[in-house]
Amino acid sequence: MASRALYSPRHPMLKKRDSFEDILEERRHSSDLRYALRCYTPTLYKGLVPCKASMLKSIVLQSDHLQYVIKQVSSESGDSTECVAEEASLILDEMAHRLQLSTVRFFVFTLSKAFKRLFRSVCVNEEGIQRLQQAVQEHPVVLLPSHRSYMDFLMMSYLLYMYDLPLPVIAAGMDFMSMKFVGEMLRMSGAFFIRRSFGGDKLYWAVFSEYVKTMLRNGYAPIEFFLEGTRSRTCKSLTPKTGLLNIVMEPFFKGELFDVNLVPVSISYERILEESLYARELLGIPKPKESTSGLLKARRVLSEDYGSMYVYFGHPVSVRSLTEGKITRSQYNLLPRCIPQKPSADTHEFLNDTAFRLVRIQEGNMVLKPWVLIATLLLQNPDGMDLSSLAEQTDWLRHLALAFGAFLDWPDHAACSEVISCSLALHRHLLSVSAGHVQLSVTDAPQVETTPEEAVFHQAVVVLSCASYRNQILHVFLRPALLAVAMQSANSNRKDDVYNCFNFLRNMFSSEFILCPGDSVQDFEEACYLLMKRGVLQVLEHEIVMSASGHSTLAFLSSVLDPFLQGYQVTPHTQCANLILRRFEISVFRFLCVFVIMASGRLKCYEALSSDLQKNALAAFLRLKAVMKVKVGDQVTLKVNKIAVNSLEDTLGKSDVISHQNSWWSSMAMFEIAI
């Protein structure tokens, strides 16, 4: 297999990353059927024999924990324990996987064909596989992949089969069960299905948690789930969920396991299969329901080129090492193990901190292609760029990204113009290239006369699609960018003033980006260090001073956050208008709000239309008390705290977009009253 290495200079000397191998090279020169039917003999934890589904179900139903909850639910509901136990059995039947090697072999054969059509290469870090092979023999393993595509969990199982590793059991949403035939095929390839929400259903939670902990305690198979909970439509990492993380750590907390290995996995795509679909979802188009017919219709993607895919298996993280000095396990000895216990405040804080740091590890191991740099520049230059200027700025940005520690795959000994040409060709559906000028353009819009609203929508699809690639590199620039904006907002060189603005921005964007709780000082110092290293700033004892050559770098970094700042400026005023325009569908109304501002020429930020950005902005303003939830009867409405909003605008610097909106809201309010 072909092998290659990527480099990430976190210091002036190049630091070698794990080497990669293209797993598709061998597949292109040998029989897929013979490969799928090959001898598969994985080494299991402590040499265990795989557990049959019927045996696993029996162990779960007879566990002390589930029997305790069954009696508790029976007492509370008045139903007999037999009736509650039968309900628990039905829940388990709905949930449990039925892993069968024959089904896995079918998927391996099918996916081999599909991957060769979709991707030029699928690169995996060899050292990571070796570390995983060692880890699964020592302690139970939990696999934590990033989640940007439906392809993620398929690829994970495919790779583990390929490297003769135990196949994982995978937490999947019940949505897939609506896919006739395919849903059961997924179950027989290791998926176990859980409801998206089960609130206070004590019995369901007990069955689910005991099922996961039984598999973990007995080491029957690696457990796989997504910390982010769902696919990221924006390709930014989502705020992690801690429910499943608590479940897989609990056997260690209670002394039932000596240790558990958490393995973060970073999956990167040069071109995302669901790219256009995600953009439309962010603009309010409902997500298509998972169905077998939909899957068959999606076969047309096999005729497209999606470039390269990278899977990076990170270093296993020991739960025992993580908890040292942070969690007192003796608290779990105060009650019998079978009695459910809610995590203490300290445990909850630990879980939250651990989840954020694991996602940061995922981000740091994401392999970035040249297109993410090009997309970043094109979004900052909506009128387009000459190819010569694009090549020059891309090369400048490449060196900045590498200096900040980006994990960048840049072809060796290739001219910048050649690299750009290849990237533009792969993403030509988002571009217009004419007479040496490159510009984002609408190529998927119908070739008929469109209304202004439709034109805005189609352009927004292109911009949000492009932004999904820019978002992949945001974690590299985020902290220096926050510092750059803080220096502008503080309007002062005093270190304390700049830090206060930095801390405010960091708090405001804590739902938008992965910013570890309690790490404000560390993030500030990291940003200062990176910009000092580039000669952009001089950080003195009490002052931060921009160097003579630092203006262009700070201007670029400020522009990186500009779409988010503009979107956050629009949000509180949109919420205020929502209270006036009660008859409008909120998602449609928000689109109309921003469209009117765009049509005026005052705002050209299509990203402000993103439902994800609006959701995160609203969460930030609720947290900052700029917007408050008010209960009126049985309904909860939103009320804007105008004083707090004005204070935030003063801190960030009031935009002329806002002043334009104020007059527009007034006219719209009068219009609604007239209706």
pLDDT at res. 579: 43
pLDDT at res. 16: 60
Q: How confident is the model at residue 156 (pLDDT cuts 50, 70, 90)?
A: very high
Mean pLDDT score, 327-337: 79
Q: How confident is the model at residue 13 (pLDDT cuts 50, 70, 90)?
A: very low
For residue 427, being part of any structural domain is answered with no
Domain boundary among 336, 365, 394: 365
When mean pLDDT is compared across 94-103, 275-284, 322-331, 413-422, the lowest value belongs to: 322-331
| Distance (Å, whole) CA 345 – CA 415 | 55
Residues 6+ apart with CB under 8 A from 638: 575, 578, 579, 618, 627, 628, 629, 630
pLDDT at 275 over 50: yes
Element housing 20 (H / E): strand 16-22
pLDDT at res. 406: 96
- Terminal CA-to-CA distance of the chain, rounded, Å? 69
pLDDT at res. 574: 54
pLDDT at res. 293: 52
Q: How confident is the model at residue 158 (pLDDT cuts 50, 70, 90)?
A: very high
pLDDT at res. 197: 76
Helix, strand, or coil (residue 25)? helix
Mean pLDDT score, 563-567: 90
The CB-side HSE value for 263 (13 A sphere, CA atoms) comes to 26
pLDDT at res. 566: 87
- Check: CB of residue 508 under 8 Å from CB of residue 469: no
- Looking at the fold, whether 488 and 608 belong to one and the same domain comes out as yes
Q: At what angle do helices 551-580 and 370-380 cross, to 10 degrees?
A: 70
- Looking at the fold, whether 114 and 228 belong to one and the same domain comes out as yes
pLDDT at res. 671: 31
pLDDT at 595 over 70: no
Nearest to 212 by CA among 160, 184, 249, 167: 249
φ, ψ for residue 4, nearest 5 deg: -150, 165
For residue 370, being part of any structural domain is answered with no
Which residues span the domain enclosing 619?
Answer: 467-655
pTM listed for this prediction: 0.90
Pick from 298-312, 445-459, 503-517 the range whose average pLDDT is largest.
503-517
Of residues 577 and 294, the one with the higher pLDDT is 294
Token output for 22? 């293209």
pLDDT at 440 over 80: yes
Altogether, the residues listed in the chain come to a count of 675
Token output for 646? 């004005």
Helix, strand, or coil (residue 455)? helix
278-311 CB burial, b ≥16 within 10 A, e <16: bbbbbbbeeeeebeeeeeeeeeeeeeeebbbbbb
Share of the chain above pLDDT 90, in %: 62
For residue 42, being part of any structural domain is answered with yes
Element housing 154 (H / E): helix 151-162
Nearest to 361 by CA among 475, 269, 471: 475
| Distance (Å, whole) CA 132 – CA 264 | 11
- Averaged pLDDT of the chain: 85
For residue 438, being part of any structural domain is answered with no
Nearest to 86 by CA among 74, 103, 72: 74
pLDDT at 651 over 80: no
In tens, the pLDDT along 596-607 reads 555 445 557 889
Q: How confident is the model at residue 290 (pLDDT cuts 50, 70, 90)?
A: low
- Looking at the fold, whether 360 and 471 belong to one and the same domain comes out as no
For residue 402, being part of any structural domain is answered with no
For residue 453, being part of any structural domain is answered with no
Tally of domains within the chain: 2
Domain boundary among 316, 337, 365: 365
Mean pLDDT score, 185-205: 87
3-state secondary structure 412-442: CCCCHHHHHHHHHHHCHHHEEEECCEEEECC
- Looking at the fold, whether 350 and 491 belong to one and the same domain comes out as no
Token output for 422? 């290849």
pLDDT at 664 over 50: no
pLDDT at 654 over 90: no
For residue 33, being part of any structural domain is answered with yes
pLDDT at res. 372: 98
Q: What angle do CA 363, 364, 368 make, to 5 degrees?
A: 80
Q: How confident is the model at residue 498 (pLDDT cuts 50, 70, 90)?
A: very high
pLDDT at 525 over 50: yes
For residue 383, being part of any structural domain is answered with no
Mean pLDDT score, 147-170: 94
Q: How confident is the model at residue 354 (pLDDT cuts 50, 70, 90)?
A: very high
